[in-house]
Structure 1
């Protein structure tokens, strides 16, 4: 565990900002700004005034998939969270238990007997078949990565998975949210359809508060944007595991923009931990970023540090989340701890519809 704080349940953002009152847009969230251990409070709409000409925002263009689909194993109802498609056509999936309110609970065990079971119990055998809408099926295989059985490989049959998601899927959501939302609510302004239909199981949420109007204002002030792609898998709301390997791409043009910003004295600010993972996967020991793509298993920790990224715009993460190690790699443990104390004191909202946190290098170190 890193930052030792407890987040009260009432600080979970239950609906998107634009649904909290008339005339509000996505950018109607608060912005906590850290420069070292100095913390300031702002509205997100003030972001253009907090950056300067020559700064570069690295943004993730991965679209969000409708990655939750109802299914059955025998007589037991399950919700399948589709995480990542492997090179061999199999999918890494998580089985969860429906809670009757449109969200899910962590899976516990699955009974495939004739009587069925109200719970999804641990130890689902290899070869078990998950029946999906439209005649599709998943044949469960071995656990992914040797870190327990939360994610399993599954081989699809009967229908193409992306078609099942388009026709029968819905965005993944958890119990702290109030209700189901259309998929458009989970798309950021930077999301681009992938040629192969790929995308993220869960929204790259740090970019959600951006609006087209705000992007135009940033560009007009001389702030540049470098697009990268990293398709995120299913996070764990309970286990706080390090991320699994994910597919990413840093284009040549974006690598050049990052290197030029660094050489010209601009600050490279990643929008989201996914953007950090992509850029740092393409950065050499000298900090030079080169075009790269494929799978990354990089976990950014304080011990590893960051090579190309100097700042980070991110949501507020649970204190046990592995993402906090990345924040500490960017800003240091003292700065992150101080910011989270202030976020709690200021009643900031957590999770994907919540407020955001901008970590910048202190003026004395840049």
Structure 2
């Protein structure tokens, strides 16, 4: 395993509420611009992103929408309550899920509402997950999940914020259990301004899985965390055209990097592809597609930091992060942004 980047993150730099609840627009969060060659940093606001991108650059966004993955259920067998967290969507009616309270046994049925039940179709002692086969599928299942569930939130978030706060403005395809948060700071206004400048915009879909499993014993690295992605023909063409014309491909989020670099690795070139990725990107990974990255601030020793070190030397990254702490940047999904170019 690669050595992880360690640093002290003061408690008060965990963003506890969305920027809108701190009185600023989503695109007015801070942005640290990091030059991946020199390590030089500039501190600005996210809405000034268009100053750093050029005509002919291509932004690639993740169109996955966040689902409210925390659901309460009742065991049919004895009426006890079990809270489950959806972890990965396997197909239109089956989800891998993490029981948070109570145990579930293969074959039993749990009820979420008068019209929604699920059967435990898989359960094993060497994984914290169970597979749930729901009695509904497709949009009927999503309608139930959206009406019953709550968004996953971690210990630094004390209040249950509304699901809207966990969506990017452009997300269209439900499936992520944690917000693909690098895209959160975009407003439509900023996207239009970028397009006016000649920056092109393309979309992929990668549905994020549950990364935090409550018990360290089960903690999985990215190579054990399979996530479902889709790169369309249109996006693959736009990337090829951008590269051919000498423009830069800028990934919005580590999810986009994972999807694009997975396809390039598996197919030896970028083409339309759908599949599951467990690609673990580190400082030793030679990136084939992504020239730049827009991402949030990642916590100490996170695997996302190792992905960042594929773009920029670890020492330069460490210095930049020290600067961000001095500048009181906020961390996590409601926090500030980092542009690496």
State if a TM-score over 0.5 links the two structures. yes
Q: Secondary structure at the match of 2:256?
A: helix
Q: Secondary structure at the match of 2:271?
A: coil
Distance 2:312 2:338 in 1: 12
**Alignment: residue pair count:** 327
1:142–1:219: structure 2 CA closer, same or farther, 3 Å change rule? same
Does the 8 Å CA contact 2:96/2:129 hold for their aligned counterparts? yes
Does the 8 Å CA contact 2:260/2:289 hold for their aligned counterparts? yes
1:151–1:286: structure 2 CA closer, same or farther, 3 Å change rule? closer
Task: Decide which of 212, 215, 221 is 2:188's aligned counterpart.
Answer: 212
Paired position in structure 2 for 1:184: 164
Q: Map 1:234-313 to 2 at 5 A.
A: 234-236=210-212, 239=216, 241-243=220-222, 244-284=225-265, 288-313=269-294
State the Cα distance separating 1:47 from its structure 2 match: 0.7
1 or 2, which has the higher helix percentage? 2
TM-score by length of 1: 0.82
Q: Secondary structure at the match of 1:302?
A: coil
Distance 1:268 1:44 in 2: 18
Task: Decide which of 127, 147, 167 is 1:167's aligned counterpart.
Answer: 147
1:359–1:76: structure 2 CA closer, same or farther, 3 Å change rule? farther
1:335–1:96: structure 2 CA closer, same or farther, 3 Å change rule? farther
1:88–1:14: structure 2 CA closer, same or farther, 3 Å change rule? closer
Q: Secondary structure at the match of 2:27?
A: coil
Task: Decide which of 122, 125, 130 is 1:152's aligned counterpart.
Answer: 130
State the Cα distance separating 1:305 from its structure 2 match: 2.8
State the Cα distance separating 1:32 from its structure 2 match: 1.0
Distance 2:191 2:171 in 1: 14
Cα RMSD between the aligned structures? Answer: 2.5
Distance 1:42 1:180 in 2: 30
Structure 1 unaligned spans of 5+: 98-109, 113-123, 361-366
Q: Secondary structure at the match of 2:275?
A: strand
Q: Secondary structure at the match of 2:255?
A: helix
Q: Secondary structure at the match of 2:242?
A: helix
Task: Decide which of 61, 64, 70 is 1:62's aligned counterpart.
Answer: 64
